Amino acid sequence: MSPDEGSRYAFVCPGCAESIAVDESMRDVLLERGCVICETSVTTAAFRRVRSMDTREL
């Protein structure tokens, strides 16, 4: 298992400010395709690693 596998992230879109908790695979899709709400391109700067999927950490 890689160090990032199973990681959880808080995502905040730089375009529309939508905030969601994502896992590693969702993070990869967002990086590849952009925000699902506004289609803004996304970089790794839009993600912050969190301890859990608890939305209070967003």
Residue 3, pLDDT above cutoff 70: no
Can you give the pLDDT at residue 23?
Answer: 96
Please tell me the pTM assigned to this model. 0.76
Q: Are strands 19-23 and 8-12 parallel, antiparallel or unpaired?
A: antiparallel
Task: Output the six-digit token pair for 39.
Answer: 């289609």
Residue 16, pLDDT above cutoff 80: yes
Can you give the pLDDT at residue 2?
Answer: 47
Q: What stretches of 1-58 adopt beta strand conformation (E)?
A: 8-12, 19-23, 47-50
- Going by pLDDT thresholds of 50, 70 and 90, the confidence category of residue 11 is very high
3-state secondary structure of 20: strand
Can you give the pLDDT at residue 1?
Answer: 40
